[in-house]
Every structure is written in C-alpha cells, then in structure tokens.
Structure 1
C-alpha cells in the first residue's frame, strides 16, 4: 500500500537508492543533481531536514508497503503563505497515478497542516505528464518561463483557507 510520509532521517537509505536508480530517468526532464549530490548525500539530507524543522520546506516521500521510495513530493521555499511544489516518481511507478495522488495529498496538507494559501509549480511545455498532474490537482497556468533551455509554464493553486 502506498503511503505519503513526511521525510525523516530513517528514510535516507531508501531515498538514496531511489535517487540513484532513477538518476538518468530524472535527468531527461529536470537538471541532473550531479555527482556531489550522491557523494555528500548524508550531509545534504541532514541540512535539508534541519531546514524542514525550521519550517523552510516540507519534504515528503511516497513509499510502498516494504519501505521503498516510489516518489517525492516537496514544498520548498515556504514563505508568506506560499511554497513551490516539486515532485518526481520512480520510472517503474510512473503512469500509475502516484504523482496525482501524492500531489493532491500534499496540497491538502499544505492548507490544513502547514497553513499555506498558495502553491506554485513549473514544468517544461513538453512534459505532458507533469502538466496533466498539475491540472488534475487544480493548478492553473499563469505564465511562461524557460527551464533547462526549453519553453516552460508556470502554474498556481490557491488553497482553501483552513477554518479557525
């Protein structure tokens, strides 16, 4: 059974395996993390978890019933009630609705648990899968940009305000 979990230190081995296994797959649509990311993984993860504790980011993993990481859904650069949404799903798990599931769950958490009111996202024009996930989650196209030297699109989602 797939579960969305807030990133914890004990996810480190499964998260590193996920990133290594899918490195080439991810690099086809987002900038490669580079060798240093993998060589300094433990230190980098510790720094990111400290930033999460400080409320700067909210990192999540989608896991299977055996503790393997199937994907990531993150809210980064949290400030003034908004954050940037980013996500990636393992190659073998793509096309099964996991990105849509994870994004919808994180959007709900963003409003209820994190008190956010707006999420931003972006993707390249040629990434039809990512555009579909954003549309299914209710994001609206709000502009253009250049990503990885390709035409890209900006998206925004206004979240419902949590009741007082």
Structure 2
C-alpha cells in the first residue's frame, strides 16, 4: 500500500496520488494555513496546533499508523510533483461490507482544473484494485455543488440526504450521501477476481 499512483492528466497538469509521509509535515502545515479560509465551510474546526509543523507531524504519525493497520489509505494529491491537497479512503471496513468513505480537498490555487476529479478517479483505482473494496461512499454538504460534480464525474450516485449530519463552520449542516460500487461488482463476489 505504498506505491505512487501513475500520473493522470487534468487540463494540462499532471496529477498523482501517494500515501502521506511524516516528512510531509512542513508542506502540509503551510498548505493548511494558506487554505484555512478556503476550507473553512467544508472542513471540521481544528485546533491551532493543527496548522503547525509539529501538529501536522503528530497527525501524520497517526495516519501512517492507520495505513499500516489497513484502517485507512491517507494520501496526498500531487500536481506536477508538488503537494496540492489531501485525499483519504477513511473507515475501511472489511468482512461482509468491504467499503470505505472518500474525503478530499484541493488547494484553492488548483481548483477548477479537474484536479479533484482526477484524484478521486485514482483513489477509486486504489480502493477497487489494490484494496479490493466493493463500495466507496462520500458525503458532501448539500450546497457543495463543486464536490458533487467531482463525484458525479466519477460515477457516484446519490443515495439520499443525512439531516444535520456534520458540524462545520459553526453549525450543523445536511449532507448528501453518494456511493460508487466496484466495476467488478456482480452482485455475488466478495472480492475482485484474482485478488485474494
């Protein structure tokens, strides 16, 4: 679970994913600080320490440990080789569910160029290929139309709305739940052919 994804192209820029590294702390601290206002409507409130190198390093230690345990796949989004956002396959469930949630964000300077759409496409390759999952789910605030377009471009369908599902930006918000089934889904197989 440590391979770098092959490069994809989104409107003239090269996009790739790779798992986070503790060494990303300084870059992610700076990126998080620079995009704090941009992400405020969509991300949970964070302690001030989160925006420091030390806070990011502590966060990354936990994420790298969760990756090693197979609980999540936390990644960075690379644009032309530079970290431009985060993407995570969260809450990986095995057994009869074989599912996870995807969450992502892209720096304001990289939005509107298809970067998020390409990153989600690559994350689905990881989820359905490398991890052998059957379902990927995603939540977006009902007013986050840009993120909903990203999901639609990647074949997600709407399941429904969870009322007052997330507390961000000072209040509870409704969220729309999306799902995407693995391309190998035949209604019977627990895993993709040949993976296990």
Q: CA RMSD in A?
A: 1.5
Could you tell me how far 1:32 is from its partner in structure 2?
A: 2.5
Cα contact 2:21–2:60 (8 A) shared by 1: no
* Structure 2 length-normalised TM: 0.78
- Return structure 1 stretches of 4+ with deviation > 4 angstroms: none
Larger of the two Rg values belongs to structure = 2
Partner of residue 105 from structure 1, selected from 112, 122, 126 = 122
TM-score normalised by length of structure 1:
0.92
**Superposition deviation, residue 33 in structure 1:** 2.1
Q: 1:75 aligns with which of 82, 89, 99?
A: 89
Q: Which of 163, 178, 192 is equivalent to 1:155?
A: 178
Gaps of 5+ in 1: none
* CA–CA separation in structure 2 for the residues paired with 1:45 and 1:33: 15
- Which runs of no fewer than 5 residues in structure 2 stay unpaired? 1-13, 185-191
SS of the equivalent of 2:139 reads strand
Alignment correspondent of 1:9: 22
Match for 1:63 among 50, 62, 78?
78
Per the TM alignment, residue 16 of structure 1 is displaced from its structure 2 partner at its CA by 1.8
Structure 1 Cα separation of the partners of residues 157 and 116 of structure 2: 17
Which residue of structure 1 aligns with residue 147 of structure 2?
A: 130
7-16 or 80-89, which deviates more: 7-16
| Residue 92 in structure 1 maps to residue 109 in structure 2 | yes
Equivalent residue pairs, number: 163
Shift of 1:102: 0.1
Q: CA offsets per residue over residues 25-78 of structure 1, 9 Å max, x none?
A: 10122223231323532122111111111100101111233x531111110110
